Amino acid sequence: MAKTHAIDLDHLDQYIGGDLALRDEILTIFDEQASMWVSRLDASEDDEVWRNAAHALKGAARGVGAWQIGDLCEAAEDLVAGAPEKVAKRRAILAKISDLVGEAVSEARRLRDCA
């Protein structure tokens, strides 16, 4: 397997061992989880809700090798408490995360549909 633009299939293959049905199941779960968690990221939300959503999305992304999403979510987890201009920074990082999640979800769906 190879690396796609948004999902590292070599990483994913470590878990599936060439089982395309399992790959499709994992990609379906990622699709559902990523869509759900990104919708829960609200720049004006309280710190605990923001951090929990960013953390959960980070785990879902890294599970399939969506490294850019995982890295942005890790940075987003720190935009709490006394972080200067945290709401503005949250909005900016959320825009990037949303774009990348859209790309990764589209890639996951394309991979599933081509199998």
The class (CATH top level) of 9-114 is: mainly alpha
Contact (Cβ atoms closer than 8 angstroms) between residue 37 and residue 57: yes
| pLDDT attached to residue 115 | 58
Give the residues across from 43 on adjacent strands.
none
Residue 97 has pLDDT above 80, yes or no: yes
Domain layout of the chain by residue ranges:
9-114
pLDDT band at 100 (very low <50, low <70, confident <90, very high): very high
| pLDDT attached to residue 1 | 44
Residue 9 has pLDDT above 60, yes or no: yes
DSSP output for 74-96: HHHHT--TT-TTHHHHHHHHHHH
pLDDT digits (tens, 9 = 90+) for 42-93: 999 999 999 999 999 999 999 999 999 999 999 999 999 987 899 999 999 9
| pLDDT attached to residue 4 | 52
| pLDDT attached to residue 38 | 95
CA angle 11, 64, 71 (to 5 degrees): 100
